[in-house]
Structure 1
Amino acid sequence: MTWNRETVHEELLKVFRQHKQTEIEVSETSHIVADLGIDSLGVMEVLADLEDTFKLTIPDEALREINTIGDVATAVLTRLEGDGRLQG
């Protein structure tokens, strides 16, 4: 499947809404742990969902740089672009 930036962002927000543990609205600037209350096990579940959704692997070293949903978007977009599966 080929993705564009808008569909990637929509899908990311959908996945994070399913996993959030607080009533805070999910946005690009939401901090995964502090705002959404997702613990380390939850982060691994989110990661598995994202890898299944986008058919990619996010390496463990990339997780060190991820704090917000925007950071996740950057990591996913970079990998999709590298695989030639990102339009626009």
Structure 2
Amino acid sequence: MRFEKQPALQEFDRLKNAIDELYHEICVLQGLFDSANAILQAILALGNGCTQTEIYKYTLLNKQVVDSSVKRLDQEGVIEF
């Protein structure tokens, strides 16, 4: 199988990586871990009262990461159950 270079896809990947790095830097400055950022964005998108199942499906994080991250965010007072 032979693949050809796809400039548009390469540019998309470059921009996605730059955005991911920017979000990571913002998380570090705010003292958040990357999964916490993804969870907070999911809560904003899904609305208050969303379930952990909805969060892990939205973020594509595994159940254990969502569970432990949500508990940590709750302990730190960032979110409330």
Give the TM-score band, short-chain normalised: 0.3 to 0.5
Larger radius of gyration: 2
Q: TM-score, normalised by structure 1?
A: 0.31
Q: Which has the higher contact order (CA 8 A, sep 6+)?
A: 1
Q: TM-score, normalised by structure 2?
A: 0.32
Structure that is richer in helix per residue? 2
Structure that is richer in strand per residue? 1
